[in-house]
Each structure stands twice: as C-alpha cells, then as structure tokens.
Amino acid sequence: MPSLKTRLMQLSVAVVFLLGGAWGLMALKASKPPRATRVPEPAAPVVQTVRVAPAHQPIVVQGQGTVRPLQETQLVPQVSGKVVFTSDALLAGGLFHAGDELLRIDPVDYELAVTLALARVEDAGAEYVLALQESEAAVQEWRDLNPDQPPPDLVARKPQLSAAKAKRDAEAADLKKARLQLARTRLKAPFDGVVSEKHVDIGQYVTPGQVLATLYGTRAAEIVVPLASRSLRWIDVPGFTDGDGPGSPATVRAFLAGALRTWQAHVVRAEGRIDEKTRMINVVIRVEQPYAKRPPLATGLFVDVEIQGRTLENAALLPRAVLRSDQAVWIVDPEDRLFTRSVRVAHQTTQGVVIDDGLEAGDRVVISQLKAVTDGMKVRPVPHSTDGRP
C-alpha cells in the first residue's frame, strides 16, 4: 500500500500538469489574432420599371354626364273640350314625327262658331255694300243740286259707311278667330320626338293651359360634362376657347342592354360659368340622331365621354403609378441606382399620365412603391409587363 508521502507526490505532479495545461491554453488563445466582425449589407430592394418611349400622343379628355334632350316641350291645349281622339304614339315611349296629329278635341262647338261667324261676315258685307250705294247716291244728288260745292260728310253718309266697313272687318276678324279655334282642336307634334309622360285619354275634358303630355325631341341629344379648366387647353369649345372652328369630336359610351354602346358626338358650347363649388366648367356635348339605332341614346342615361383633343409631339404615356408628386418620378440609372427627377405632366387620364418634359427615350421609370428612398440607393430593377407579371 503506497505510503502517504508517495500519494502526496503523485497529487502534486497531477496539479502541476493541470496548471501547466491551463496556462498553455490561455497562452494559445492570447496569441490567436481576433476574428473580424462582418456586418451583412442589406439586400437591394426590387423595383418594377417601365421604359420611356416618346411618341405623338393624342390627348383625350374624359368626363361623364347625363343625357338630356335638345328639345323638350309640354303638350298643352289652347281651347277647351272633350278629347275624342288620341294617337297610338301618344303614350310613354311612343315615337312620332313633326306634324303628326297627337290629340283631337271635339270640334262640333267650334265648327258651329265658324258657321255663325261666316253668316255674320256675309251680313256685314251686305250692309257695307248697301251703305256704299247709299253714299254714292247721296253724293250724286248733292252734285246735281250744288255742282260747285263738295258734299258734306253727313250728306255723303261717310260716318254710316265707316261704321259698316268697321263692322264688316270686325266680323271677318271673328271668323278668322273662329277658324283658328277650330284648328286648335287638333294638337300636332311640333318636331320629331318621343313621348316622355302622358296625362290624358279619350273622353277627358281638358282646358287651356292643362298639361296633357311631355315631349322630347329626337333630332339631337346633349350631355353636360363638367371639366377642369386646365383640360380645356387641349380641346376646341365654340364660343369659349380660342379659334372659330368647330368643336372637338367626341365619343359617348354607355353600357346598355347588356353591351357597351358607342355614339359619335361633338362639342357645341360651354355653359358660360364656372361652378362656384367645384370650380369646374360645364361643356356641352351633342349627339345627332340619338334614336337612329337601337337601343337609342335615351334621355336620363349616364354615360362616359371621351373628347378627342390635340396631339402632343414627343411625349410619353406612362402608368399613373410613376408619379411621386405632381411633377416628380423615380429614375433608375445605368448602374441600377435610384434618383428623383422633376418632370412636366401635360395631362392625366384613366390610361395614365402624359409627360412632355424631363424624360429621355430609354429611361427606366420606377412604378413600385418604396417606404424609404434616398437618391443614389441601389435597387434591383425588374421590367414591368402589361399582364402584371415581371
């Protein structure tokens, strides 16, 4: 069995070896050079871009409005009586032509009035002829007795002759009025049109001034389109913008009867005042013969209007997403760095924005949205495709 002295010696050797190993490990670590800390660079954001391709860009001014008739009137009688006839067209939606008889009032009373007035005219005419003959006889008798003196008015029966003539003329005027009243028993259409509302039927007694129906003209229809003042620089509005030429052409579109319909139109005028609340100007668009095809451009229809304006040379049409402010975009340079550039926006439509200054052919314009942007930041541009996929 080892003695105590031997055990202490063995323990001392083990401690020495342990201390030596620890010291060596510490020395080794101290002599190793420190590891460099690498901070990873953030990945450049991906942005979609579109290429600038300047070209001749026709300016299209867009707006909306409600169709209203160019002509609108109410069918109102000028004489009273019972209705004895109504046209088949005299119902809501009925079409008629100018001169068509739409309604007739019982003419019997007015025919009798014409007959009586005609009799009075004949009677007054006979009285006038008799007064004229009596005047001529009296004048001749006076000249036989007083050859050197003109006959006095009373002798010549001039007052009686004037009264007879006045009565004849008055009875003739009454006859004309009676015939006019008789003609007014037939109510005729003043223009080609369509019936909007009907308030009368056969057997009804009507009086002068009573509204019997509302009529709309079909020769033309108009649409009032509110436009911003800056939009008027691109179109011709007769009597409002510069020049004496005709108004700009336009296209009217509406979804009707399950399909998109179009009508050709043109600008005819502006209403002449700026709306105090919206600061817009009402421009009037006219469509000729709105009922020439089916379905028609009916009154009350809400439509979209595109007005063909002037053509802008060397301009670019880009998506609206390119704008970062009213007059600035983001550009990616050849080194894929992003910069802000000022541009001039000539016009904005639903198809995009027309930029006529500040861009060059081939420039890459960013359409993506980024939260934080600094000039010169690195990006990864991806061309934008029309189908929405990069």
User: Distance (Å, rounded) from C-alpha 55 to C-alpha 26?
Assistant: 75
Alpha carbon 242 to its chain's center: 21
Structural domain contains residue 94: yes
User: Distance (Å, rounded) from C-alpha 338 to C-alpha 340?
Assistant: 7
Write down the pLDDT at residue 1: 52
| Whether residue 90 sits in one domain with residue 203 | yes
Write down the pLDDT at residue 206: 96
Q: How many CB atoms lie within 10 A of CB 367?
A: 17
Beta bridge partners, 342, equal 328
pLDDT in tens, the chain (390 residues): 556 667 667 667 666 667 666 666 676 666 666 665 565 666 788 889 999 999 988 899 999 999 999 999 999 999 999 999 999 999 999 999 999 999 999 999 999 999 999 999 999 889 888 888 888 887 787 777 787 788 877 766 788 888 888 989 999 999 999 999 999 999 999 999 999 999 999 999 999 999 999 999 999 999 999 998 888 888 999 988 887 888 999 999 999 988 999 999 999 999 878 888 888 999 999 999 999 888 999 999 999 999 999 888 889 999 988 998 778 999 999 999 999 999 999 888 888 899 988 899 999 999 988 888 888 889 989 988 654 443
In 3-state terms, what secondary structure has residue 210? coil
Structural domain contains residue 24: no
User: Distance (Å, rounded) from C-alpha 376 to C-alpha 339?
Assistant: 6
Structural domain contains residue 303: yes
| Whether residue 301 sits in one domain with residue 197 | no
Place of tokens 């009565």: 167
Q: Please tell me what DSSP assigns to residue 178.
A: H
Written as six digits, the tokens of 274 are 């700026």
| Whether residue 199 sits in one domain with residue 91 | yes
- Cβ(373)–Cβ(330) below 8 Å: yes
Write down the pLDDT at residue 24: 67
User: Distance (Å, rounded) from C-alpha 66 to C-alpha 281?
Assistant: 15
Write out the residue range of the structural domain in which residue 261 sits: 62-70+217-312
| Whether residue 225 sits in one domain with residue 270 | yes
Structural domain contains residue 5: no
Question: Domain of 307: which CATH number?
Answer: 2.40.30.170
| Whether residue 99 sits in one domain with residue 194 | yes
Total domains present in the chain: 4
User: Distance (Å, rounded) from C-alpha 379 to C-alpha 101?
Assistant: 77
Structural domain contains residue 302: yes
- Cβ(190)–Cβ(98) below 8 Å: yes
| Whether residue 338 sits in one domain with residue 295 | no
